[in-house]
Amino acid sequence: MNLSNNSNYLKIGDKAPNFSAIGVYEQEFMQIELSNYLGKYVILIFYPLDFTFVCPTELTAFSDMYYEFQELNTEVLGISVDSEYCHLAWSQIDRDAGGVGLLKYSLISDLNKRISSSYNVLTESGKSLRALFIIDPQGIIQHSVINNLDVGRSVNEAIRVLKAIQYVQSNPDEVCPANWQPGEPTINSNPLKAKDYFRSI
């Protein structure tokens, strides 16, 4: 799938583009600015459109796990190219009728498509790709993943990666192996000490 703006991809380690936009939270409109969350981790969930099929399953799954994100000093923000009025209408529909109900985090309107464009996730057809970014408390992108529009993301994997990022940022001499979970062994980044891990597996 071609992107409408593919000349300047964001990279891990880049500063997350700031934005200010209208969001919907608990049936109310509010101005949301990314820079206001400095000091916390932020998960940005870009999704194609309201009133679709895969999107509500993702957004409600992240909402169901919201308190776990809070315990990890993390805010969650959903973003699509729909208007704030569309977000409001969708949140007023129960889950069993295809809506998202009252989410525990804000849905942001990117009607002018500037946010999606700045994160390089805007398609030529004008929708946001199914992208997720993890931004650290300094406003630096630490993780990104983009799925095919027809494939939903894993909330559990987002939490696992978030915990791994937080761990290595707190323990700069250690790295996390494949499928690492909190409490499991890590690898010392010193080549000699790293052998201890590989001897144990």
State the sign of the Cα–Cα–Cα–Cα dihedral 32, 38, 41, 46: positive
- Give the residue carrying structure tokens 């010392």: 188
CA distances 53 to 9, 62, 67, 176, Å, are 28, 15, 25, 35
Q: How far apart are CA 201 and CA 165, in angstroms?
A: 22
Would you give the DSSP letter of residue 59?
H
Token output for 169: 């940022």
For 158, the enclosing helix (H) or strand (E) is helix 155-170
Token output for 155: 């909330």
- Give the residue carrying structure tokens 């942001």: 108
For 112, the enclosing helix (H) or strand (E) is none
Tell me which of 21, 22, 55, 161 is the catalytic residue.
55
Contact status, residue 42 vs residue 30, Cβ threshold 8 Å = no
Q: How far apart are CA 89 and CA 98, in angstroms?
A: 12
- Does 55 participate in catalysis according to the annotation? yes
Enumerate the active-site residues. 55
